[in-house]
A = this chain, B = another copy of it.
Amino acid sequence: MADRRPTLADVAHAAGVATSTVSRAFSRPQRVNHRTRERVLAEAERLGYVPNPAAQALESGRTRTIALLVPDITNPYFSGVIKGAERGAANAGLTLVLGDTAESSAAEAQLVRRLERAVDGFVIAASRLTDDELRTAATRTPITLVNRATAGMGCVVADYDSGTHQIVDHLASYGHRSFVFVGGPAESWSGARRWQGLQAAAAERGMEVRRSGPYLPTLSGGPAAADAVLASGATAVVCHNDILAIGLMRRLAERGVSVPGEISVVGFDDVFGADFCHPTLTTLAERTEDAGRRAVELLVTQVPLRQAGGPTRVLPTQLVVRGSTGPVTSM
């Protein structure tokens, strides 16, 4: 068997040419005679030659690898981003390294340091780093961001302006005149954007909106949020994300409050589960898979050019109306 893997030199020897010719046969097709190239490729195929990525990376400085950093791999919101990034990387012939930053900015910074020599660029989702930290890191290795806009860097964000309008319009159509925003973590960039959008949309509609929280963006954050909402007498709530919304609905059910009969509930993300919780959840869907893919594409365009900064891509959002919202009951 292959006691030793064939190298460039083996192929060169077999084809009767120099290693440089073999190398160029692969990387610069037009730099070598058509017939020579054929021969080299045939030999390479016959020997089962596969280039050694480490050696390629050493000389060229390119690893053909990019890293994706997410705060929590198991959060279904990021599953889509991961899948999209994986797809995008595969399409571009790149290998994807996955890093979990455990929702910690320290872990995130450490991971960036540890990987920056090993990868050609980063896609960072929901980064916890400051704008300055990000920009500093970006001077060493290209970075694009998902769900976080930082001037001068490539970013892919969801269109919350439009999305929050959709939510507000939907609630208004059911006769709601006010609602409560159940907030997530204070540091969350997307949380801030959502709240801004909701305020603006509500203002346009002349609706009243209050904010509650912050709460944990998890199922366990639900009970506290639910109780606060009940105390407020709201007819509708918009939650920081679906998980929180589901936790909240569960608590409301325990307390005998009907959804959407007495309170309408809207979430964000359209995560796995939003269509089979009870009641099914009206939520603003983001194309997370697209976001991951686009972020990789954006990164790829940056890498060769080493251009400073990058454009921001805004991805559409869609309101998915399900069972958790309904008309106001004037009791």
A residues apposed to B, CB below 8 Å? 1-2, 5, 50-55, 57-58, 63, 65, 73-74, 76, 79-80, 82-83, 86-87, 90, 95-100, 113, 115-118, 139-140, 219, 246, 250, 272-273, 275-278
Contacts and interface: CB of A to CB of B under 8 A. Distances in A.
Contact of A57 (B54, B96, B278): B54
Contacts of A100: 83, 86-87, 90
Given A96-B98, A98-B98, A273-B273, A86 B115 contact: no
Binding site secondary structure of chain A: mixed
Contact of A118 (B95, B116, B250, B272): B95
A74 B74 CA distance: 9
Given A95-B115, A117-B50, A272 B74 contact: yes
A273 to B, nearest CB: 4
Contacts of A98: 82, 86, 96-98
The 7 tightest CB contacts between A and B, nearest first, are A278-B278, A54-B57, A273-B273, A98-B98, A74-B79, A54-B58, A53-B118
Which has the most chain B C-beta neighbours within 10 Å: A5, A50, A100, A276?
A276
A79 B83 contact: no
8 contacts: A52-B58, A52-B117, A73-B86, A82-B98, A86-B98, A87-B100, A98-B98, A250-B276
A270 to B, nearest CB: 13
A73 B83 contact: yes
Given A54-B63, A79-B79, 7 more contacts: A53-B118, A54-B54, A58-B58, A74-B83, A76-B76, A83-B100, A272-B273
A100 B90 CA distance: 9
